[in-house]
Amino acid sequence: MPDIESLLEEKRVFKPPRDFARAANWKRKQVAELRRLGQKPERLWAKLAREQIAWFSPWKKVLDWKPPFAKWFVGAKTNVSYNCLDRHIQGWRRNKAAILWEGEPGDTRTITYAELHREVCRFANVLKGLGVKRGDRVAIYMPMLPELAIAMLACTRIGAPHSIVFGGFSAEALRDRIQDAGARVVVTSDGGHRRGAPFPIKQTVDQACAEAPGVEKVVVVRRTGQPVEMKPGRDLWWHEEMKQASAKCPPAKLDSEHPLFILYTSGTTGRPKGILHSTGGYLTHVTATARAVFDLRDEDIYWCTADIGWITGHSYVIYGLLSNGATTLMFEGAPTTPGPDRFWDIIERWGVTIFYTAPTAIRTFIRLGDEHPKKHDLSSLRLLGTVGEPINPEAWMWYHRVIGGGRCPIVDTWWQTETGGIMIAPLPGATDTKPGSATLPFPGVHAAILDEQGEPVSPPHGGFLAITAPWPGMLRGIWGDRKRFVETYWSKWRNTYFPGDGAHRDRRGYFWIMGRIDDVMNVSGHRIGTMEVESAIVAHADVAEAAVVGRPDEITGTAIVAFVTPRSHVAGGEALQRGIRAQVAKQIGAIAKPAEIRFTEALPKTRSGKIMRRLLRDIAAGGAPAGDTSTLEDFSVLAKLRESEED
């Protein structure tokens, strides 16, 4: 197998600012010690679990590892909602804001830990009243409302695994997920607000439930007040049930390995996979990583822009933050409603100190122009983060300069739905950063770059990212499909987890994640990461966004096709095509020059903002996009793309 070659080289290095480093939760010296301890992952994670998590009873064994099946903190008992709520209300945090919420129309709510605790207990009692027992699955399909957080915490309180389905999914997608998880109760809302208008939610649930006969009860939060049909005997109003519910509900003492939630994620082929996470290990992982990577302190106002319907929202809007007693901001709406400066307005008004978002959002903001963030005072910010995709160095630099004012460290965090929590990321008070690199594995996480045979490859060559030791937040399985779990993640190499990403390390040992393996192109025997070519293209001053795919080519094996969105006011034409090719040739080499460049107003993306290169590959090859398009955000993009052929 030829190497995945890494042709880009990034030389800029950013040291942690001195004041930041001095005050950080994890300082350089401590981190060095923790890394040493982490050579034996069980020791490191046991220390963090002891220090940061409240247990009702201790474990008998830290790890039981019968590959690929892991049990963490064997025999210990705990409860996630207890860790997120009860332990904080026993002290001064009782009246601290747990959740700051802003609706899209501009309405706001501030919910203290004591209030959140009462609401969670009430809803846990509502669920019990509906017959939900330990182990029963509850589906939640709701926009970013505080009730979503309340419902998920209530599930954890009684040991009912939740299955949260992102509010933008279709009725069919929702139906499949309800059916697969075997949920008997669905929690939802009448509707939500998005891009300046209310949209229906309950109606979609009705359609889904028409073909999901197992659903016995539907609890409906009133958000928009739009008319909804309430099916007698099945549908109940949240506010009516809550009125009658007691605010006393002791947390269930759950086994560390008790299932916590299922979250569906799509693979390259086939049905979505129900990724299963369990209690004690996941809680330890997200609590410790949130505290260390975001350098959380009590005064922070933390904002992660992800929807709770994705893993980032589960782990780093809710669980990792509340478990730390932090203040987390939730926003219901879209980044550009009512205007292109909504995010910066929110940061200024709430005094956000830590901001965590996705590269796709950053590239959108670059395109919209610097004048929007510049209208606002962003001086409250002290730390920035990114997640979801490789970030191209130019976007990193813009984020650093324009949003961070040159003063905020950036944590580029690599992880997956399957890993539960952050795996590779800088520790902002201790790690030098380089634009585009997620830097080093978290202490106790063992990552490597392997070839097809499982042999380590050394710099500057790239290969497959691999995780070589179990970690506490790891997925415990795919719901109802043990075989697929073993085949997808554990069959490439012996006892080693296969994340499906390509990566390389530089001489300093830093990891550079190049994106999914199926996004890697083989041009004339050279494997080139789509992300590297995209980075080079986006570095062109007239380019806002680019996606690159391979098209079969008789001579070179694969020809590179680039789909490019120019900046507003710039026209795509021959001159720009020449400029882009020159830019790629300059930054990477002639080998990476796109054979074809197509201009487009928009790229096809999933609702969580990932470019769907699979669809672009089909278009580049001259065919119609095949396969599952249920996660595509905007269908009209596809038709326009097919008309975009270079002449």
Give the residue from 259, 324, 328, 265 showing the smallest Cα distance to 289. 324
Q: Which is nearer to ligand 7RM, 41 or 426 (CB)?
A: 426
Rg of the chain taking only CA atoms, in angstroms: 24
**Cα distance between residue 212 and residue 558, in whole Å:** 44
Q: Is 461 exposed, middle or buried (0-12, 13-18, 19+ CB in 10 A)?
A: middle
Query: Least separation, in Å, of the C-beta of 160 and ligand 7RM?
Result: 24
- Encoding tokens for residue 141? 């399909």
Read off the tokens for 480.
């109802």
Closest-by-Cβ residue to ligand 7RM is 417
Q: Counting contacts by CB under 6 A, is residue 340 touching ligand 7RM?
A: no
Q: Pick the closer one to ligand 7RM by CB: 245 or 317.
A: 317
CB 360 within 8 A of CB 610: yes
Using the contact rule CB under 6 A, the part of the chain among 319-327, 468-476, 481-489, 497-505 near ligand 7RM is: 497-505
Question: Please, which residue, 236 or 427, has the CB nearer to ligand 7RM?
Answer: 427
Shortest CB 618 distance to ligand 7RM, Å: 20
How far is the C-alpha of 438 from the C-alpha of 442, rounded, in Å? 10
Q: Does 412 bind ligand 7RM (CB under 6 A)?
A: yes
Q: 417, 431, 535, 583: which one contacts ligand 7RM (CB under 6 A)? A: 417
- 308: Cβ–Cβ under 8 A, 6 or more apart, which residues? 144, 148, 149, 152, 164, 314, 317, 318, 330
Give the binding range for ligand 7RM (CB under 6 A) out of 28-36, 279-287, 413-421, 559-567: 413-421
Question: Beta strand pairing status for 410-412 and 383-386?
Answer: parallel
Q: What secondary structure does DSSP assign to 553-597, as a single string?
A: ETTTEEEEEEEEEEPTT---SHHHHHHHHHHHHHHT-GGG--SEE
Show contacts with ligand 7RM in window 566-595 (CB under 6 A): none
Residues in 514-533 that interact with ligand 7RM by CB under 6 A:
515-516
Choose between 323 and 419: whose C-beta lies nearer to ligand 7RM. Answer: 419
Closest CA to 286 of 474, 448, 439, 466: 474
Fill in the per-residue mask, 232 to 271: x = in contact with ligand 7RM (CB under 6 A), - = not in contact.
---------------------------------x------
CA-angle at 173, arms to 169 and 174, nearest 5°? 80
- In the bound state with ligand 7RM, the residue whose beta carbon lies nearer, of 413 and 583, is 413
Binding residue for ligand 7RM (CB under 6 A) from 83, 312, 323, 431?
Answer: 312
The residue (of 259 and 500) whose beta carbon lies closer to ligand 7RM is 500
Helix, strand, or coil (residue 642):
helix
Measured distance CA(285)–CA(46) in Å, rounded: 11
> Out of 311, 322, 559, 592, which residue is the one contacting ligand 7RM (CB under 6 A)?
311
Q: Where in 95-114 is the site for ligand 7RM (CB under 6 A)?
A: none
* Least distance (Å) between residue 275 CB and ligand 7RM: 8
The residues with which 515 forms a beta bridge, in sequence order, are: 502
Provide the minimum distance between the beta carbon of 165 and ligand 7RM in the complex, in angstroms, as a whole number: 14
Burial 145-158 (b: 16+ CB within 10 A, else e): bbbbbbbbbbbbbb
Question: Residue 425 Cβ, how far from ligand 7RM at the closest point, in Å?
Answer: 8
Q: Which stretch binds ligand 7RM (CB under 6 A): 2-10, 127-135, 382-390, 479-487?
A: 382-390
- CA separation (Å) from 25 to 29, 294, 426? 11, 9, 13
Residues from 430 through 459 that contact ligand 7RM (CB under 6 A): 438
The verdict on 415 binding ligand 7RM (CB under 6 A) reads yes
How far apart are the C-alpha atoms of 328 and 597, rounded to whole Å?
Answer: 42
Site for ligand 7RM in 264-293 (CB under 6 A): 265
Give the nearer residue to ligand 7RM in terms of CB position, either 113 or 511: 511
Least distance CB 335 / ligand 7RM (angstroms):
17
∠355-262-209 over CA atoms, to 5°? 110
3-state secondary structure at position 535? helix
What whole-number distance in Å separates Cα of residue 416 and Cα of residue 437?
16
How many positions of this chain bind ligand 7RM (CB under 6 A)? 20
- Determine the 3-state secondary structure of 383 from DSSP: strand
Per CB under 6 A, 161 contacts ligand 7RM: no
Q: Which of 123, 166, 350, 414 binds ligand 7RM (CB under 6 A)?
A: 414
409 counts as binding ligand 7RM under rule CB under 6 A: no
Between 259 and 388, whose beta carbon lies closer to ligand 7RM?
388
Nearer to ligand 7RM, 93 or 516 (CB): 516
Q: What backbone phi and psi angles, to 5 degrees, belong to 98?
A: -90, -50
Nearer to ligand 7RM, 146 or 550 (CB): 550
Of 513, 560, 603, 612, the one binding ligand 7RM by CB under 6 A: 513
Question: 21 in the Ramachandran plot: left (φ > 0), alpha (ψ -120 to 50) or beta?
Answer: alpha
Please identify, among the stretches 297-305, 320-328, 406-414, 479-487, the one whose residues bind ligand 7RM according to the rule CB under 6 A. 406-414
Q: Identify which of residues 378 and 520 has a Cβ nearer to ligand 7RM in the complex.
A: 520
Q: Which residues bind ligand 7RM (CB under 6 A)?
A: 265, 311-312, 387-390, 412-417, 438, 499-501, 513, 515-516
